[in-house]
């Protein structure tokens, strides 16, 4: 699921402004597609960096965030205890928040909507 979403975000980012744009009503979406695509690409890049540090944290994020699994379901799929998944989920979210809150020069600057 992560790869599908990231591929779509990349495709949208590669298209010229306005060409092939999907027009949504306000009832359909409150956030511009381009903003979601940019955030998804930033998340993918952060997950790629995290994978080099702790692959298990990435698998937990993929199950919980992209797969929509509960803590118990994630624990079962990954062969871990629920307690380990809860602990790692907290650690992964904190790591991602820090990574996504930094501007490109490494200074803390939370993104809009965080």
Q: Whole-structure pTM over 0.85, yes or no?
A: no
> What is the mean pLDDT of the segment spanning 75-102?
95
Q: What percent of the chain has pLDDT over 70?
A: 59
In this predicted model, what pLDDT tens digit does every residue of 14-59 receive, in sequence order?
654 555 555 555 555 555 666 677 888 889 999 999 999 999 999 9
Tell how far CA 102 is from the center of its chain. Answer: 15
pLDDT at 78 over 70: yes
Nearest to 22 by CA among 10, 6, 34, 30: 34
Of 17-21, 63-67, 100-104, which range is least confident? Answer: 17-21
Averaged pLDDT score across all residues of the chain: 78
Please report where in the chains the tokens 């359909």 appear, as a residue: 28
Which domains, ranges and CATH numbers included, belong to the chain?
Answer: 2-101 (1.10.10.10)
The pLDDT value given to residue 110: 43
């Amino acid at each position: 699921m992560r790869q599908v979403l990231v591929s779509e975000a990349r495709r949208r980012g590669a298209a010229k402004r306005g060409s092939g744009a999907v027009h949504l009503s306000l009832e359909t979406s409150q956030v511009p597609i381009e903003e979601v695509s940019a955030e998804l690409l930033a998340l993918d890049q952060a997950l790629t960096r995290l994978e080099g540090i702790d692959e298990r944290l990435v698998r937990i994020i993929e199950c919980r965030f992209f797969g929509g699994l509960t803590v118990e379901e994630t624990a079962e799929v990954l062969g871990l205890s629920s307690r380990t998944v809860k602990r790692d989920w907290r650690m992964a979210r904190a790591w991602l928040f820090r990574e996504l809150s930094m501007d490109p020069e490494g200074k803390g600057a939370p993104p809009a909507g965080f």
